[in-house]
């Protein structure tokens, strides 16, 4: 092959890899609170920080004294290698990321259908070694099977993620009120990007700047004191055009019940 053709081939391959990595890295691992307000632990006592080697990796949510949920993609590092359970811990009981009470994990169980860099079955159960010894920590209620989540209804998403697109993590827990998006509308929005399934629920805002963002993945989407979703993926942070996509918790109750302690 002539050198010029070889160079053109190399450039084309590099361009493809760059586009692929940008699209799926940004889409699936948006780890994704913009446009919200400071939260306090009396209202968000179930909110946890999932730490990888003691550094905030993702959000998590407490559902029993020793069980939490997070997004399955949060259990992989930047190279898509599974993180060892001994390198993981959760912290709770404080709205400040650099405070709170920590507990190591005994085990993690990713949903069997989850594949790295894919948006499907993005849920995992975290089993804590002990209870979190902090009176500001308490679990949230799970939804009923086939719960009705009405389009247009209000929900809250919370976390320590970026307050702006590509911004730094927030040291203070924030939340924002958003609206559940009609399933069919969300399917249409993402039809040329990636499939939105019945195991997902979408929520967003009609105005730019209100959304989960980098560092919020695995955290809770709540409604009326109940956990309805887990922050999973989205196209951008804070874009009114693209709502956030959440793992729909009521679709995974059998999986959760088989591991909760």
Backbone angles phi and psi of 75, in degrees to 5: -95, 20
pLDDT digits (tens, 9 = 90+) for 216-257: 899 999 999 999 999 999 887 656 789 999 999 999 999 999
pLDDT at residue 161, as a whole number = 79
Please determine, for residue 156, whether its predicted confidence score (pLDDT) is greater than 50: yes
pLDDT mean over 86-95: 97
Least confident of 65-74, 100-109, 166-175, 179-188: 166-175
Please say if the pLDDT value at position 13 is more than 50: no
Asked whether the predicted pLDDT for residue 107 surpasses 50, the reply is: yes
Question: Where in the chain are all domains bearing CATH 2.40.10.10?
Answer: 47-139+254-258, 140-250
Kind of pairing between the strands at 67-70 and 37-38: unpaired
Chain-centroid distance, C-alpha 159? 9
pLDDT at 3 over 90: no
pLDDT the model gives residue 20? 36
Distance CA 125, CA 25 (A): 23
Q: Which residues contact 117 (CB under 8 A, 6 or more apart)?
A: 24, 28, 29, 73, 80
Please list, residue by residue across 82-92, b when 16 or more beta carbons sit within 10 angstroms of its beta carbon and e when fewer do.
ebebeebbbbb
Summarize pLDDT for 184-195 with one digit per residue, the tens.
999 999 999 999
Predicted TM-score (pTM) of the model is 0.85
- Which carries the bigger pLDDT value, residue 31 or residue 183? 183
Q: Report the share of the chain in percent with pLDDT over 70.
A: 79
Distance CA 197, CA 199 (A): 5
Q: Cα–Cα distance between 212 and 253 in angstroms, integer?
A: 24
8 A C-beta contact, residue 165 and residue 208: no
- Looking at residue 216, what is its pLDDT? 85
H/E/C letters for each residue in the chain? CCHHHHHHHHHHHHHHHHHHHHHHHHHHCCCCCECCEECCCCCCCCEEEEEECCEEEEEEEEEECCEEEECHHHHECCCCCECCHHHEEEEECCCECCCCEEEEEEEEEECCCCCCCCCCCCCEEEEECCCCCCCCCCCCECCCCCCCCCCCCEEEEEECCCCCCCCCCCCECEEEEEEEECHHHHHHHCCCCCCCCCCEEEEECCCCCCECCCCCCCCEEEECCEEEEEEEECCCCCCCCCCEEEEEHHHHHHHHHCCCC
Q: Please, what is the average pLDDT of the chain? A: 85
**Average pLDDT over every residue of 204-223:** 77
- How many Å separate Cα 5 from the centre of its chain? 43
pLDDT tens figures, 164-174: 555 567 889 99
pLDDT at residue 214 in the model: 64
Catalytically active residues, by annotation: 73, 122, 217
CATH no., domain 140-250: 2.40.10.10
Q: Is the pLDDT of residue 45 over 70?
A: yes
Across 1-10, 176-185, 220-229, least confident range? 1-10
Instruction: State which fold the 47-139+254-258 domain adopts.
Output: Thrombin, subunit H (2.40.10)
């Amino acid at each position: 092959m002539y050198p010029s053709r070889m160079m053109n081939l190399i450039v084309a391959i590099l361009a493809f890899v760059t586009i692929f990595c940008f699209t799926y890295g940004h889409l699936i691992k948006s780890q994704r609170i913009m446009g919200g307000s400071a939260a306090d632990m009396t209202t968000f006592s179930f909110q946890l920080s999932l730490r990888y080697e003691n550094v905030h990796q993702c959000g998590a949510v407490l559902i029993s004294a020793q069980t939490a949920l997070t997004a399955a993609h949060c259990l992989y590092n930047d190279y898509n290698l599974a993180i060892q359970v001994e390198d993981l811990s959760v912290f709770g009981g404080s709205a400040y990321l650099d405070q709170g009470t920590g507990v190591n994990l005994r085990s993690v169980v990713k949903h069997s259908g989850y594949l790295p860099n894919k948006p499907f079955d993005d849920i995992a159960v975290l089993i804590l070694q002990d209870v979190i010894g902090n009176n500001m920590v308490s679990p949230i209620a799970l939804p009923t099977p086939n719960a009705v989540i009405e389009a247009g209804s209000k929900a809250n998403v919370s976390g320590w993620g970026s307050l702006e697109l590509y911004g730094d993590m927030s040291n203070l827990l924030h939340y924002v009120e958003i609206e559940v998006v009609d399933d069919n509308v969300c399917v249409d929005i993402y039809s040329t990007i990636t499939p939105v399934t019945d195991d997902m629920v979408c929520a967003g805002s009609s105005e730019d700047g209100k959304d989960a963002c980098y560092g919020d993945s695995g955290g809770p989407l709540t409604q009326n004191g109940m956990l309805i979703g887990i922050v999973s993926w989205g196209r951008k942070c804070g874009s009114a055009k693209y709502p956030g996509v959440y793992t729909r918790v009521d679709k995974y109750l059998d999986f959760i019940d088989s591991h909760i302690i």
